[in-house]
A and B are shown apart, each in its own frame.
Chain A
Amino acid sequence: MFNHKDAPDGTFFNFHKEPPLVAYEFFKLGMWIFLATEVLFFGGLFAAYFIMKFKWPEIFSLGSAQLSIPLGATNTVILLASSFTMALGVDAAQRKDKGRLVTMLALTFLGACGFLVIKYIEWSGKISHGILPGSDVFFSVYYMTTGLHLIHVLIGMYYIGLMFFRALQGRYTDEGSSHAGVEVGGLYWHLVDIIWIFLFPLLYLLGAH
């Protein structure tokens, strides 16, 4: 059933018998379904956030005021930029432009690294001041949501790295190959970006005044 070696785009599944276009549509639809579950996964955390904020608004104000808006905004822009380069990477794959695809994947990976560096600065600063996940309800939510988002960033970085080396081998741009892998990785990376788009105002901006 599964034939790893002959998989058209380097992914595990091989829809042999299906024309490449059908396989491509299957990949994308499958990723969209997975992203739907991801939204609900984070949705539970958002529900917890809103309930706790409704119940203890002053704790959220105090906690939110301790976060650095410049750092958070910079991280947002970095993630948006890496989303931008990822979209350009998918575009390059669609146009079968290997050189640009490799460049864009490398830039996207760099953006993710920048995000991690700023996240490290933020977290280490908080932890060195003795602010830990159990300090109060705001920071419980803060560490939980940003931590889970961070795990998603790490998974995305792994897949971007994988795509980078596969792109170098020409597995997405060679004649007759499919770029569905890049498309799917792009969708995942954009979702990570979307989640951060919501986390940034919720954690950094609301209640700071």
Chain B
Amino acid sequence: MAHDHHDDHAGEMGHIQPFKVYLGTFLALVVLTVVTVAASRINWGNAFLNDVVAMVIATIKATLVITLFMHGKHEKLETWGFIWAPIILLATLLAALFVDYAGRQNDLYIEPAPISKLYVHQPESITKKAHGEGHGDDHGKSGDTHAPATDGHGAEGDDHGATDAGHGDSHGETDAGHGDSHDAEGDAKATDDQGDAAKKDDGDHGDH
């Protein structure tokens, strides 16, 4: 329609809409904003339904802006191709991501436990110092119990070094510096390994 109009009057550009169209669109957008806030306060049964309601309202608002504020209503088909293209691509991306993600929930590579205990309101749990201390205490304890427990500890450690290649290095450290095990705690990365190693040691000692 707009295109025909252009062909008739070469000098005229764009489709002129009456003022009430703009005002009506704006008022509808404000009302829908209020509606979306109100809808979020209603419990729709489950959180997913809340998301759907909010997204439907947002889509209606976006459609109003595109068709009336951006004059999409009077745009050519080519333009609508470029309006639909990103929407379709984005829908494909999100759908593919979710099909993939939902199908992976039992996958070993995605931890089933919420990471909240590691993350959200306990920032100290992810800082280096707290990390080191946590493991350090464990380690210190195991060191205390170990020291008097056996004299043949060194020999056992060597055994470990031989059998468990992955923990070989940290074992070497623990055995060598058993008395002053706290020295190694500065290095958080090392402590992680040491913690594991210490636990292993504990288990072995239980057997002895």
- Interface set of A (CB-CB < 8 Å, partner B): 19-21, 24-25, 28-29, 32-33, 35-37, 39-40, 43-44, 46-47, 50-51, 54-59, 62, 69, 73, 76-77, 80-81, 83-84, 86-88, 90-91, 94-95, 135-137, 178-180, 183, 186-187, 190, 193-194, 197-198, 200-202, 205-209
Contacts and interface: CB of A to CB of B under 8 A. Distances in A.
A39 B86 contact: yes
B101 A54 contact: yes
Contacts, number: 162
Chain B interface size, under 10 / 10 to 19 / 20 to 34 / 35 or more = 35 or more
Contact of B85 (A36, A47, A62, A178): A36
A55 B11 CA distance: 56
- Residue of B40, B41, B93, B98 contacting most chain A CB atoms (<10 Å): B40
A186 B13 CA distance: 15
B30 interface: yes
A197 B120 CA distance: 27
A197 B61 contact: yes
Given A21-B10, A43-B89, 8 more contacts: A21-B13, A24-B14, A32-B82, A59-B120, A80-B29, A83-B69, A206-B40, A209-B41
Interface of A is mostly: helix
A40 B85 CA distance: 10
B69 A190 contact: yes
Nearest to B57: A201
B13 A20 contact: yes
B94 interface: yes
23 contacts: A32-B82, A36-B86, A40-B89, A43-B94, A46-B94, A47-B93, A50-B94, A51-B97, A54-B101, A55-B110, A56-B116, A58-B120, A62-B121, A73-B37, A77-B30, A80-B33, A83-B29, A86-B69, A136-B119, A193-B69, A198-B55, A198-B62, A201-B40
Interface of B: 6, 10-11, 13-14, 16-17, 19, 22-23, 25-26, 29-30, 33-34, 36-37, 40-41, 43, 47, 50-51, 54-55, 57-58, 61-62, 65-66, 68-71, 75-76, 78-79, 82-83, 85-87, 89-90, 93-94, 97-98, 101, 110, 114-116, 119-121, 123
Given A83-B65, A87-B22, A91-B22, A46 B90 contact: yes
A172 B22 CA distance: 21
Nearest to B110: A55
A87 to B, nearest CB: 4
A15 to B, nearest CB: 13
B114 A58 contact: yes
A24 B90 CA distance: 29
A209 B43 contact: yes
B8 to A, nearest CB: 11
Contacts of A43: 86, 89-90, 93-94
B14 A202 contact: no
Nearest to B115: A56
A95 B125 CA distance: 63
A26 B143 CA distance: 76
- Residue of A44, A50, A76 contacting most chain B CB atoms (<10 Å): A76
Given A179-B13, A205-B54, A186 B116 contact: no
